[in-house]
Chains A and B, each alone.
Chain A
Amino acid sequence: MTARPRQRSRPAARAEAILASAVFTAIAALLVIADFLDQPFYLKLLTRALVLALAALALDLAVGIAGLVSLGHAAFLGVGAYVIGISAEHGMTNGWVQWPLAVAAAASAALVVGGLSLRTRGVQFIMITLAFGQMFFYLANSLSRYGGDDGLTIWTRSQFGTWLSLSDRRTLAWLSLSILLAAYLFLRKLRWSRFGRVLRAAKENERRMAALGFAVGRFRLVAFVISGALTGLAGVLLANLTEFVAPAYLSWHRSGELLAMVVLGGLGTLHGAVLGAFVFVLLEEVLARLTTHWALLFGPFLVLVVLAGRGGLVGLVQRIDAPR
C-alpha cells in the first residue's frame, strides 16, 4: 500500500475546493430549476437527497475520517425523526424546542452506542453498531402509542414563528441546503483541525498515538457523538419533509445505504458523501422507474463499486483530472 501524504498540498486543496463548490452549485441549480419549472415532485426528491446527504456527510466523519465503520447510523436518523413525531403528537410543535431536543436525543443515543461499541474494534464494532441500531428499530416498533410498526403521521410541521414556514416546500428545500452546507463547512474545518488530525492519525496508527499520550477512544467517542447528532438533525428534516415517521426509518438497510453513499462518493472526502447521496437517490429513482425490482440492479452495482472504485466518484474525478 502506498501511502499518499494526507497533508494538503496547495493544488490538491484547490482542486478539492473547486469540486466541492461544483457539487453545491449543481445542487442549488437543480433546486432553482425544479422550483422554476414548478415541479413539486422533483423539489421533494431533491430535498430528500439533501437530507440523506446530511446523514451521509455525518457518517463520513465517523467512517471516513475517524475510521469507525458504523452500521447502525439509521438509528440516529430515526431518533431525530421520532422526537419530532412524538413531540408533535403531544402538541409540542415549536421548532426552537423540538429541534435541539431531537439533536440532543440523537447525540445521547450516539454517546451510549458509541461508548459501548468503542470498547471493541474492527469486525466487532461493525456487528455491535448494527445490533444496537436494530435495538432502536425494535424500540420504535414497540411504541404502540405512537403507531407501532405502522408509524406515525405528523400533522403539524415544526413551527418557527411567522418568518419561516416549513409547510412551504421551497423553504424546506433551501433550509435543508443551508444546513447541509453549514455542516459541510464545519466538518471540513474539523477535519484539518487539531481534533481532526488526531482522528486521522489514530486511524492510521493507533498504537503510536497512544504512545504519544492521546486517549484515542475519547476522541473517537466525541467524533461519533458529533456524527450521531448531525445524523439526528437529518432525521429532523426528514420527519418534516415526509410528515411521517416509521420504524422503517431505522431499518439497518438504511444504515447500509448510507455507507454505500459515502463509499460511492469517495470515503473521507466529505463532499464525496454529498455527491454519493445525490447519485444514490437519483439512481434509485431512475432504477425504480425501470423496474419495481430495482434492487436486482442496485445490488450488483454496489458490488462493482466496491470492487472497481478506489476512491469513489471523487477519486474518479481526481484521476481524470490528474492522470499519472
Chain B
Amino acid sequence: MTAVLLARGLAKSFGAVVAAADLDLELRANEIHAVIGPNGAGKTTLLGLLAGELRPDAGRIVLAGRDITPLPVHARAALGLGRTFQVSSVLPSFTVLENVAIAVQARAGSSFRFLRAAETDESLNGPARSSLDKVGLGALADRPASTLAHGERRLLELAMALVQRPRVLLLDEPLAGVAPAEAEQLLALLESLRSEMGILLVEHDMDAVFRLADRVTVLVHGRVIASGAPAEVRRDPAVRSAYLGEDDEGAFDDRTDQLRVTGRASFRR
C-alpha cells in the first residue's frame, strides 16, 4: 500500500519545549492510523505541522507524492487535507447547513461570485444536506451552529470535513467530551470512512483506538517510541514500561486534568 501522507524528520520546538523531534510518520490510503501519547506529547503539534498551521524547524511533509512542506494551510486543504480541531471550530453565527455549504463552496470551484445569493444555492446546499444526514445532523440544519451541544458540534465539524472528500482526514480527539451514545455513532461513521480516505486519529480513548486503528503510533515528548499494529504496540516493552505498565486502563483514559497529571508523571520515571 502506498503512503498518502508522509512525514520525514519533522522537528518543532517552542523555546525549550521539544514538541516534535525527528518525527517520521506514514499514513496509508484507507487506513486508520492512531496517534496516542500522554498530554503534552506533541500530538496536536504534529497535526498542526501536517496541516500547515505550524512551520516545522526541520523535516518534510509529502501529500500524495507532492512535497507540501512550503504550502500554507489553505493550499494544503485544497489538495485534500481535511481536519477537525481539538477544540471544535465552526462558524457559530451561521446555520448548521451554511457551515457545511461553505465547506462545499471551498471545493466547488469559484467563490469569486459576487451577485447570486449563496444561501439558496442548491448546488451547495444539496451536498451539504446529504453530508449532514450522514453524520446524523440532518434535523438540525437550520439551527445556528452556536446553539449546538458539544457533541453535535464535533459532528458538524466532521460533516464539514467529509463533504470536501479529503484524501486525508486529521482528527484531534474527536471523542473527547462526547456522550457514549454519540461516541458509538461517531465510531461507526469513522469505520465506514476507512474505505474512502486515510485517517490520522489522535485519541485518548484506548478502547476506541484499539477497536478502530489499523496501526498505532505512540508519541512521548515529541518522539515516536513505538509504531505498528495495535497488538504489537500493546506488547512493545518500551510502551509497556513507559506507559501501559502501571495502569492499563487509567493511564490512557485521561479525560480529566487529574488523570492527565498522573499520566504525565508516569513518564518521568
Contact = CB atoms under 8 A, between A and B. Distances in A.
* A/B touching: CB–CB < 8 A: yes
B164 interface: yes
Given A3-B93, A5-B144, A212 B117 contact: no
A6 B97 CA distance: 12
Contact of A189 (B51, B93, B114, B124): B114
Contacts of A8: 119
Nearest to B109: A194
A32 to B, nearest CB: 31
A205 interface: yes
Contact of B118 (A2, A194, A204, A207): A194
A194 B113 contact: yes
Interface in A208-241: 208-216, 219, 222
Given A3-B146, A189-B114, A198 B119 contact: no
A190 B164 CA distance: 24
Interface stretch (B59-67, B83-91, B196-204): B83-91
A212 B102 contact: yes
B91 A193 contact: no
Contacts of A207: 53, 85, 89
Contacts of B77: 210-213
Across the A-B interface, give the 5 residue pairs with the lowest CB-CB distance, nearest first: A213-B77, A3-B93, A5-B144, A213-B78, A210-B73
Nearest to A197: B118
Contacts of A222: 112
A208 B87 CA distance: 11
Nearest to A5: B144
- Measured as residues with beta carbon below 8 angstroms from the partner, the interface class of chain A is 20 to 34
Contacts, number: 115
B114 A7 contact: no
Interface of A: 2-8, 186, 189-190, 192-198, 201, 204-205, 207-216, 219, 222
A197 B121 CA distance: 12
A213 B94 contact: no
Nearest to A205: B91
Contact of A193 (B90, B115, B146, B164): B115
Contact of B102 (A5, A189, A193, A197): A197
A5 B93 contact: yes
Contact of B107 (A4, A6, A208, A213): A213
A288 B105 CA distance: 50
A215 B79 CA distance: 13
A7 B145 CA distance: 11
Contacts of B74: 209-216
16 contacts: A3-B144, A4-B144, A5-B94, A5-B95, A6-B94, A194-B118, A195-B113, A197-B102, A197-B105, A205-B89, A207-B53, A210-B77, A213-B78, A213-B164, A214-B74, A214-B111
Contacts of B144: 3-5, 7
